[in-house]
Chains A and B, each alone.
Chain A
């Protein structure tokens, strides 16, 4: 079992200038902010070299002009490594990691459905959570849509 600081050191060594910030928040919790271009390389490094096989989920967060994606990976079921990338709302594209971690397939679809991120190379980005008649360009988990607005939209559709 590698210690938290050993994982951080190997990440630093591999990512170099692609690593923006890394913190050990507490025992078994690591947060690493990386450049979005380095996502596939870092996940591949974690899977192949550090034996980090489990992806718990992908969290997307709306931060005004940008959307942040956090990949919550787990090392041997114990230490959670949260890899963070930020995407500008003008260009919401990220590369898929489904070929590196097949378990990511539904998490990417969920984020695509609710936040409108394109995962390039994903085998099937069809609707997963939202109904078929849901408008194409409305992403309900984004901050620009309030609960009341969404409720009105849905009730108008149904009447």
Chain B
């Protein structure tokens, strides 16, 4: 190959950076990435179509299963959209419980991510420790809801389970332990040389690019832009709870790690405030099954950023259209920008940097090195190669 010419490298769907499959076609000049083409849809399950075939109650469970990590963000968004259509007044206690669950979820999601990012840069000690401590949150979830991941707390008109006095004490105890550990990890992230050398000035996203490419969540905030749906477009009881938006000016992967670490500490404070100020009373109101005609745009700050749902109802028992845009899709254009001009060796940590959440393999890319032609095997061709017994 002549000096200075570029080569194309298919990255994924099975690759070193992520536990979930997606595909990127990188064009590299030596060690430098000069072009990136994303190819998504490896786990496109047709959830939006499925929404149109289920009743409003069945859809709560479908919304819960859009994501395995931020399941609560999706149901919060779904239920508050339907509540707006029904013009329901959700009891205050239910709103406080929603905030507590959402913030616990943010802690476990960010802790999972910090562990993964540490693993990408070869810092497996941090990965093991933070995942061990993350178990505290999962145990609390099990105590509150009986489940570690799909808590099924939200329903149209409120929440399904109450948080008792005993649970409040347990959550406080869990937080005492977690906060101490998280403060330590934040300190480690800020001072450790390995982390700093592996993440500083890597995957840079300038503030103006972040805005132009419509980035969301910690990715946007690590570029110094203080946007957070909880503050700007408050839902549940975020307008009553004092908290600050965490931002960082460094615009690189290190900034994204620090923002997430500090957000976990902030979430801890929000949970403490909510537990102390949660009013007594009902946790749900009865919701009518018939939903009138209308449309609603509903937004939530999921752990990965702005999550937007849109629903159009036609007066029947099922929605006419249900649209979901998860924060990962919003961050893909920004991710491509971060990768440009970077080194091949930095691809895994930059990819992991936006905390992507995809999911299942269905085809492959082959590149003929002699002609530089690429072809993609269809499912049928793949099946033709499988070993049959």
Listed in ascending order, the chain A residues whose CB lies under 8 Å from chain B are: 25-26, 28-29, 31, 53-57, 59, 61-62, 70, 72, 76-80, 82, 101-107, 110, 127-133, 140-141, 147, 150, 157-158
Q: Which residues of B contact A61 (CB under 8 A)?
A: 312, 320-321
CB pair A78 B233 closer than 8 Å: yes
| Min CB–CB distance B369 → chain A (angstroms) | 21
- Which residues in A have their C-beta under 8 angstroms from that of B46? 140, 147, 150
Evaluate whether A77 and B212 lie within 8 angstroms (CB atoms) in the complex, with A133-B379, A147-B49, A157-B380 already known. Answer: no
A92 to B315, CA, bound (A): 27
Complex: how many Å from CA A106 to CA B337?
14
For B311-332 the 0/1 string (1 means CB < 8 A from A) is 0100000001101010001101
Can you list 29 A-B contacts with CB-CB less than 8 angstroms, sorted by A residue number? A28-B233, A53-B214, A54-B214, A56-B325, A57-B308, A57-B325, A57-B329, A57-B330, A61-B312, A61-B320, A62-B321, A70-B310, A72-B308, A72-B310, A78-B233, A102-B333, A103-B212, A103-B214, A103-B333, A105-B333, A128-B39, A128-B40, A128-B41, A130-B41, A130-B44, A131-B378, A140-B46, A150-B49, A158-B379
Grouping DSSP codes into helix (H, G, I), strand (E, B) and loop, the A interface class, with mixed when no group exceeds half, is: mixed
Q: What mask results when residues 193 to 216 of chain B are scored 1 for a CB within 8 Å of chain A, else 0?
A: 000000000000000000111110
Q: Determine the distance from Cα of A134 to Cα of B295 in the docked complex, in whole angstroms.
A: 31
Interface, chain B (partner A; CB < 8 A): 38-41, 44, 46, 48-50, 53, 84, 211-215, 227-229, 232-233, 295-297, 299, 306, 308, 310, 312, 320-321, 323, 325, 329-330, 332-334, 362-363, 376, 378-380, 383
Given A103-B212, A106-B332, also A132-B49 (CB < 8 A):
no
Q: Which residues of chain A have C-beta atoms less than 8 A from B211's C-beta?
A: 53-54
Q: Who on chain B is nearest to A84 by CB?
A: B295
CA of A119 to CA of B362 in the docked complex: distance in angstroms? Answer: 27
Tell me if A103 and B330 are in contact (CB < 8 A). Answer: yes
Nearest residue, chain B, Cβ from A76? B232
Question: Which of A57, A78, A107 has the largest number of chain B CB atoms within 10 A?
Answer: A57
Contacting residues, chain A, for B323 (C-beta < 8 A): 57, 59
User: How distant is the Cα of A102 from the Cα of B336 in the complex, in angstroms?
Assistant: 12
B299 A133 Cβ-Cβ under 8 A = no
Verify B212–A101 contact, CB threshold 8 A. Answer: yes
In the complex, which of the residues A62, A77, A132 contacts B228, with contact meaning CB atoms closer than 8 Å? Answer: A77
| Closest Cβ neighbor of B294 among chain A residues | A25
In the complex, the answer to whether B297 meets A29 with C-beta atoms within 8 Å is yes
What CA separation (Å) do A150 and B52 show in the bound complex? 14
Residues of A within 8 A of B39 (CB): 127-128
Give the CA-CA distance A56 to B297 in the complex, in Å: 11
CB-CB under 8 A from A25, the residues of chain B are 296
CB distance from A121 to the nearest CB of B (A): 17
A129 touches B363 (CB 8 A): no
- Which of A54, A77, A80: most chain B Cβ within 10 A? A77
B229 interface neighbour in A55, A77, A133, A147, Cβ under 8 Å: A77
B17 to chain A, nearest CB (A): 19
Residue of A nearest to B44 (CB): A129
Contact status A77-B232, CB under 8 Å:
yes
Complex: A7 Cα to B84 Cα, angstroms: 23
By the criterion CB–CB under 8 Å, are A80 and B44 in contact? no
- Shortest beta-carbon distance, A140 to chain B, in Å? 7
Q: Which residues of B contact A79 (CB under 8 A)?
A: 233
Residue of A nearest to B225 (CB): A77
Bound CA span A57–B309, Å: 10
CB distance from B138 to the nearest CB of A (A): 31
Write out the residue numbers on chain A whose beta carbons fall within 8 Å of the beta carbon of B227: 54, 77
Q: Which residues of A contact B312 (CB under 8 A)?
A: 61
Whether A106 and B329, one on each chain, are in contact in the complex, defined by CB atoms closer than 8 angstroms, is yes
Contact of A78 with B232 in the complex, beta carbons under 8 Å:
yes
Closest residue of A by beta carbon distance from B332: A106
Nearest to A145 among chain B residues (CB) is B49
Query: Cβ of A77 and Cβ of B308 under 8 Å apart?
Result: no
Q: How far is the CA of A130 from the CA of B363 in the complex (A)?
A: 11
The smallest beta-carbon distance between B29 and chain A, in angstroms, is: 21
Q: B378 contacts A141, CB within 8 Å? A: no
With a 10 A CB-CB cut-off, give which of B38, B53, B333 has the most chain A CB atoms. Answer: B333
- In Å, the complex CA distance between A55 and B211 comes to 10
Decide if A80 touches B297 in the complex (CB within 8 Å): yes
For residue B287, give the distance in angstroms from its CB to the closest CB of chain A. Answer: 19
Asked if residues A131 and B232 are in contact (CB atoms below 8 Å), the reply is no
User: Across the interface, which residues of B come within 8 angstroms of A110, CB to CB?
Assistant: 329
Nearest CB of chain A from residue B46's CB, rounded to whole Å: 7
